[in-house]
Structure 1
Amino acid sequence: MQDYVPAAPVVPSLIQSAEHSFIVTPALNEELRANGFEVRVVPNVGHCIHRDDFDAFMKSLDGWI
């Protein structure tokens, strides 16, 4: 299987991760952080963060935009 995790961001990059994601695991979040990405885990949501909890989605953008 090919690894699609970037080695480092080319520009400042935010990753919003769903707490209950089956794809983006806590270990992957840590790997991304170690690679220089800003990772924000949105609590109590599934894959569609903005649909599951729009307010939490917007709050996770605080200070970023």
Structure 2
Amino acid sequence: MTCARCGGPLETFELGGRRAVVCADCGYVDTAVGHEPARNGDEESWDRAIERFIEKFGDTVE
């Protein structure tokens, strides 16, 4: 089997019943990934974060 990107040789790795095909030349991996950050619902505004900082360290900058 050859890589769809570069034509290099593919290696198959298996762990815990899951398989991944990896290209030895270009590093392509056929594993699906998500690039969006996980949202936990407890998002904080910048204003609130700055307020917390000032409450903890005061309003002085050296």
User: Structure 2 length as normaliser, TM-score?
Assistant: 0.20
Higher share of residues assigned helix: 1
Larger Rg, first or second structure (1 or 2): 2
Of structures 1 and 2, the one with the larger relative CO (CA 8 A, separation 6+) is 1
User: Structure 1 length as normaliser, TM-score?
Assistant: 0.19
